[in-house]
């Protein structure tokens, strides 16, 4: 339980997708399925409104890093 308490001390983040820029390569949800899935057309769907756990924030950072179109951003809430 102490680990959860320390994780909740971190800033809450949000993963955002600019669908007008996204080309549907699928690299984000292939690399970070914990936080991104895809719709029927192959475009990303963000699975978590707020990212609190370090593992989810790290997965979101990785999704942002692999996006060739730079359609994903990680924002502070």
Convert the pLDDT of each residue in 45-77 to its tens digit. 999 999 999 999 999 999 999 999 999 999 998
For position 7, what pLDDT does the model report? 46
Residue 45 domain flag: yes
| Average pLDDT estimate for 4-27 | 81
Q: Is 50 inside a domain boundary? A: yes
pLDDT band at 10 (very low <50, low <70, confident <90, very high): low
Say if residue 61 is exposed, middle or buried (CB neighbours under 10 Å; 0-12, 13-18, 19+).
Answer: middle
24 in a structural domain: yes
- Domain coverage including residue 59: 13-76
Q: What is the CATH number of the domain that holds 47?
A: 3.30.70.20
pLDDT of 4 above 60: no
């Amino acid at each position: 339980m102490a680990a959860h308490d320390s994780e909740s001390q971190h800033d809450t983040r949000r993963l955002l997708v600019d669908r007008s820029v996204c080309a549907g390569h699928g690299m984000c949800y292939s690399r970070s399925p914990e936080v991104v899935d895809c719709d029927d057309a192959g475009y990303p769907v963000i699975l978590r409104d707020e990212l609190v756990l370090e593992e989810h924030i790290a997965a979101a950072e990785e999704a942002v890093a692999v996006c060739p179109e730079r359609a994903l951003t990680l924002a502070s809430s």
